């Protein structure tokens, strides 16, 4: 077991992954407002918007407008999800600091999600890396890194091969997406056994969904392997429109509570995140699902 990292960088995904599957359109000002309010809690990295086809994901059609409504004075780093050249063009025009580029481990999910085989999406990523501005941070996401909703369990060696290829092509970080929240720490260990032989831990991030209630356990497994970059979503919001049944991302509040207990620095005010997320969920009729946030707010507000 590696020593736990002393500091973790959280990327907040509630305005992107948290909202993308919702049917009812969340107004643009509410999306920017969520990011602005969360920036006041100390969060500095945001998986803020997507630049994808509005036919594929109507909820994310307003990426450029959401970006325009964000108060950049707090020095946040804003990322946009980009599936192709058109998305890159839109992301650059909107002034993002970084992009997330996408593949999956499995062809079936990838075809439903971005209409490309894994091979085709890897080639798209290569093109995007060549065309992206020099100062743009590029994160390579590998979805279905342990399980595909259509093809089942994935081969860690194959995922490690994809991760290594992305690293060789010049992504700044590889994010392992546990898209459907089915993995347990044993799966994460097996995956990291392979990935960390080929990509250094400093370059690897994790993106866990909590469908089966395993995301915090999986976060511990990743921390124990020295992983210090993770995505999470305030209030546990999240899902993927092309992963049926997959629920929210691991809640930012639950990750922060875990990190505090382990003595790992993060620079974020947990209770403030919980207050912002609980208000947002109430305003938009969404379920608030952070266990730590619920408990902390109940004890404070009831005290």
By CB under 6 A, name the one of 19, 26, 49, 57 that touches ligand HMG. Answer: 57
Choose the binding region for ligand HMG from 69-77, 84-92, 189-197, 262-270 (rule: CB under 6 A).
84-92
Q: Which of 94, 101, 240, 281 is catalytic?
A: 240
Q: Which parts of 8-47 interact with Mg ion (CB under 5 A)?
A: 17
Active site residue 281: no
If one asks whether residue 83 binds ligand HMG (CB under 6 A), the answer comes out as yes
Straight-line distance from the first to the last Cα atom of the chain, in angstroms, rounded to the nearest whole number: 40
Residue count, binding to Mg ion (CB under 5 A): 1
Burial of residue 134 (number of CB atoms within 10 Å: 0-12, 13-18, 19+): exposed
For Mg ion, which is the closer residue by CB, 84 or 232? Answer: 232
Sign of the CA dihedral 286, 287, 291, 297? positive
The dihedrals phi and psi of 136, each to the nearest 5 degrees, come to: -90, 130
If one asks whether residue 46 binds ligand HMG (CB under 6 A), the answer comes out as no
Shortest distance, position 282 Cβ to ligand HMG, whole Å:
25
For ligand HMG, which is the closer residue by CB, 77 or 279? Answer: 77
For Mg ion, which is the closer residue by CB, 69 or 241? Answer: 241
If one asks whether residue 113 binds ligand HMG (CB under 6 A), the answer comes out as yes
The torsion angle over the Cα atoms of residues 36, 207, 225 and 251, rounded to 10 degrees, is 60
DSSP assignment, residue 154? Answer: P
* CA separation for the pair 68, 261 (Å, rounded): 37
Listing DSSP states for 113-134 in one string gives: HHSS-HHHHHHHHHHHHHHS-T
Binding site for Mg ion (CB under 5 A): 17
List residues near ligand HMG by CB under 6 A. 17, 20, 50-53, 55-57, 81, 83-84, 86-87, 90, 102, 113-115, 141, 143, 177, 179, 207, 209, 240-242
């Amino acid at each position: 077991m590696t020593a736990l990292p002393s500091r973790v960088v959280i990327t907040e995904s509630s305005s992107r992954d948290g909202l993308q599957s919702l049917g009812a359109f969340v107004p643009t000002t509410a999306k920017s407002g969520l990011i602005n309010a969360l920036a006041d809690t100390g969060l500095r990295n945001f998986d803020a918007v997507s630049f994808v086809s509005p036919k594929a994901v109507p909820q994310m059609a307003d990426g450029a407008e959401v970006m325009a409504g964000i108060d950049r004075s707090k020095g946040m780093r804003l990322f946009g999800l980009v599936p192709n050249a058109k998305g890159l063009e839109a992301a650059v025009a909107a002034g993002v600091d970084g992009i997330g580029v996408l593949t999956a481990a499995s062809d079936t999910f990838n075809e439903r999600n971005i209409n490309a085989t894994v091979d085709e999406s890897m080639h798209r990523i290569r093109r995007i890396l060549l065309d992206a501005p020099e100062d743009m941070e590029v994160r390579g996401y590998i979805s279905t890194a342990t399980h595909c909703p259509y093809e089942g369990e994935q081969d860690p060696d194959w995922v490690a091969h994809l991760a290594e290829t992305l690293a060789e092509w010049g992504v700044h970080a590889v994010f392992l997406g546990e898209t459907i929240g089915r993995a347990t720490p044993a799966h994460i260990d097996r995956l990291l056994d392979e990935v960390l032989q080929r990509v250094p831990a400093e370059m690897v991030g994790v993106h866990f969904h909590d469908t089966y209630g395993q995301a915090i356990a999986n976060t511990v497994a990743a921390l124990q392997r020295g992983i210090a970059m993770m995505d999470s979503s305030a209030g546990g919001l999240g899902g993927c429109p092309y992963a049926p049944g997959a629920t929210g991302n691991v809640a930012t509040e639950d990750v922060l509570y875990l990190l505090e207990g382990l003595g790992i620095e993060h620079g974020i005010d947990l209770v403030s995140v919980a207050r912002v997320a609980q208000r947002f969920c109430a305003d938009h009729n969404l379920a608030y699902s952070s266990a730590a946030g619920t408990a902390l707010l109940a004890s404070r507000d009831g005290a």
